[in-house]
A and B are shown apart, each in its own frame.
Chain A
Amino acid sequence: MTVLSGKDLPRDGEQLQGPALDARLARTWGDAPGLWGWITTTDHKRIGIRYIVTGMVFLVLAGLSALWMRLQLATPENSMMTPDRYNQLFTMHGTTMMFLFAVPIMEAMAIYLVPLMIGTRNISFPRLNAFSYWMYLAGGVMIWVAFVLNIGPDAGWFSYTPLSGPQFSPGKRVDIWAQMITFTEVAALAVAVELVATILKQRAPGMTLARMPLFVWGALVTAFMVIFSMPSVALASSLLIADRLIGTHFYNAAEHGDPLLWQHLFWFFGHPEVYIIFLPATGFVSHITEAFSRRPVFAYPAMVLSLVTTGLLAFGVWVHHMFATGLPRLGYSFYTAATLAVSIPAAIQIFCWIATMWDGRPRFRVPLLYVVAFIVTFVIGGLSGVMQASVPIDLQVHDTYFVVAHFHYVLVGGAVFPLLGAFTYWFPKFTGRMMDDRLGKIAFWMIFIGFQVAFFPMHFLGLMGMPRRVYTYPTNMGWDELNLLATIGSFVVAAAFLVFIVNAIFSLARGAVAGANPWDAPGLEWATSSPPPQYNFPHIPVVSSRTPLWDNRNHLPVMTGLRVDDRELLLTSVMEAIPDVRDPSAMPSAWPLWAAMATTCLFISSIFTPWAVVIGAFPVAAALIGWFWPKSPPGPEPVIE
């Protein structure tokens, strides 16, 4: 075996830069051409885009199921659909929005953006990243195939036991739902692990924690929240499957179990989930506000502290979903206090964003319009959330349309509007082209107004006594006109999404060419070309402030010396981001796909026989060994010293 010293290896530097370096890195970091390259890629950008597009497809599916429901509810005593169809629809809508759209799309944005924002060549554990996508896809396809076959789940997105238990939901519907949870948990946890390692160890030299972009902070806090909350729903759904398939009694009151155990485990995950969706969105808002206000975000330390506090408090509020279950009344006060406290960091963030605009020179382009829509809408949802923190008020509005209005204001206002803004903002980075401004504005106003028309009336419907999850309602309750209005609004929103999607497709082909930094934004992701090359940056950038591109207008400081003949990353120290280790990065591989297929077989067949868990473990183990087996032959560097 040849032993090469460090000096003989090809590296970037004075001798190797410019087009020659680009060509060399493109060879090293490029994928195989065609379908094989598509299957085997470990490029965080390709996987990120794939994740984003799939998430958008699920958004459309969930949106269509909402439209279908709104048609049914447009008039009282409507017999357009059977209750069974309606119950499947709202279950699919909620499940898809929460598990297949909102959480994955936020992680997908992080998969794409975080490595670029922190100046590294790829995400940590790139094969795990590929595996995560395949698992997510398999789970989503499984549940939608089940829906098309009319065995879609029908117990609601939080599937309360015992309604979802073996006695009251016979058949396979709920098993499919619970197993979909397992798929998406595996996918989400994998991404969380990658993001934690990437953010803590792969930041560009000089990017101390105090210089980290706010979206990266959001992604980091979110990743930890995923790590601490998702095991709860994974455990809950596994116990549910065990109750249903092998006869355990966790949720069976007749055999010493307790249906409320499900609610505790589910909401211990379910409430942090809301912040898992919201915190990355606050990152979008911060970046857009900063770039378009021409001023660094006001009170960055307060913003970081708010993110972290929200992440911690989110784990202390789950019982506010259970105020009507008759738990000891005194304990409720704690959860009221914690729930009210969560609104403090949100209020601080809202102030800081507006202060940034107030103090800057805001240019109201489409992304910033979405930020304004976010503030106008999300604050309403936040304030109605403050109302529901109060036990007495919650006992009245819980499980009514008031709550439906509340969480749509929070989730659409707080996450979807920022996401659409972010999509418009980073679209030039993703594709190299700008989205059309005029179509963008049309879509924006339609979504903003349509949303208010669809959801604001629901506050009143709730106060007028309309419970949620009813497939029809009597005519003499005074609910007819507001329901019709909500249906009209929902169709305006749908049309707006159509305009948005048409704009994206049109701009992809015909949009104005963007260049590296079309918005003159300050973050590192704008330092590389649009779309970025496979290796992200020809040289590893060096950072000395929170807004590197605004502070280095003429030259970007970089570091050289990573190998260009093999995939190599720079690891830096956790706090100060001091260069520490050159670390190899995984090559493209089909093993993640084979492992995902084996795991999919295991999960799906375990719905039918528990032995699948035992037998199915062997192909999974084989695939994992193939995945982690070192590449042959061992590289020229290093050897045992």
Chain B
Amino acid sequence: MTLPVRFAGDLAELPTSAFGHRSLTWWGIVAFFLIEGTTFALAIGTYFYLMGGEQTWPPAPFSPPNPIAGTIFTVLLLLSEIPNTLAKRAAERKDLRALRKYLLIVCAMCAVMVIPRAFEFASLNVSWKDNAYGSVIWTLLFLHVTNFLTDFADSLVLAGLLFTKHSVESRRFVDAAENAMYWRFVWLCWLPIYVLIYWLPRWVS
């Protein structure tokens, strides 16, 4: 038998969605940040571990990667934070039209970024099969490409959703705000990787 109950309060007046740490999905996304962030950190640790065993970096006879494509990508990625911030603000004030506009701009910028991203692989000046140095910088780039494409796809789906009948649910604004947060994570992770792939080999060689 279960205990008899005593009513101690009512929850009916509570809101049904909230932004930031009041939202359940926010915590889920933060947990995924921690997982992906740990993976990146360990991959970076692997990079330094392998570097520590070498006399020169990159090991002879390889030359450091050509930074042009990577730099173009990085600049675009950082610029995309402007519409991303605007989209986040629009979501938080529940302005559907502005949100649609800025999210589409972010998506368009992503589509453009795919081009320099593709050229990044060709500018590494080493194959993953050549040696462990090649293996690790290919892996770092590959990990981030996955991260980038995942959120690109996520943004596209969300943008599509905003043009359907589901756009009226207030949860969509929470989703959009959290997607914007994810995009910040994407470029934050990229900055150290960018330095490790393109610049550190130049500085130490």
Contacts and interface: CB of A to CB of B under 8 A. Distances in A.
Interface of A: 1, 6-7, 11, 13-14, 17, 124-125, 128, 189, 192-194, 196-197, 200-202, 205, 227-228, 230-232, 234-235, 239, 242-243, 246-250, 252, 255-258, 261, 264-265, 268, 515-516, 527-529, 538-540, 542, 549, 552, 554-562, 569-571, 573-574, 579-584, 621, 625, 628-630, 632-635, 637-641
B11 A634 contact: no
Given A261-B49, A528-B2, A639-B168, A570 B11 contact: yes
Cβ-closest 6 pairs across A and B: A561-B12, A248-B135, A561-B11, A257-B132, A557-B8, A555-B6
A152 B12 CA distance: 56
A193 B5 contact: no
Interface in B151-180: 153, 157, 161, 165-166, 168-171
A256 B133 contact: yes
A468 to B, nearest CB: 28
A249 B135 CA distance: 6
B119 interface: no
Contacts of A193: 28, 31-32, 35
Nearest to B2: A516
Contacts of B139: 239, 242, 248
Contact of B27 (A201, A234, A242, A552): A201
B128 interface: yes
A124 B24 contact: yes
B201 interface: no
B2 A527 contact: yes
Contacts of B31: 192-193, 196-197, 227
29 contacts: A1-B168, A13-B10, A17-B5, A192-B31, A194-B28, A196-B31, A231-B35, A239-B135, A239-B139, A242-B139, A249-B134, A257-B131, A258-B132, A516-B1, A528-B2, A538-B5, A557-B7, A559-B9, A560-B11, A561-B13, A571-B22, A579-B11, A581-B16, A581-B18, A581-B23, A582-B14, A582-B15, A583-B17, A638-B16
Contacts of B133: 256
Nearest to A255: B131
Interface stretch (B37-45, B82-90, B107-115, B183-191): B37-45
Nearest to A223: B31
Interface of B: 1-18, 21-24, 27-28, 31-32, 34-36, 38-39, 42-43, 46, 49-50, 53-54, 59, 94, 96, 128-136, 138-139, 153, 157, 161, 165-166, 168-171
Given A257-B132, A560-B11, A554 B4 contact: yes
A232 B35 CA distance: 10
Contacts of A629: 161
B3 A527 contact: yes
Contacts of A556: 2-6
Contact of A248 (B35, B129, B171): B129
A197 to B, nearest CB: 4
Contacts of B1: 515-516
A573 B36 CA distance: 26
A250 B170 contact: no
Question: Residue among B96, B132, B133, B169 with the most chain A CB within 10 A?
Answer: B132
B132 A231 contact: no
B14 A558 contact: no
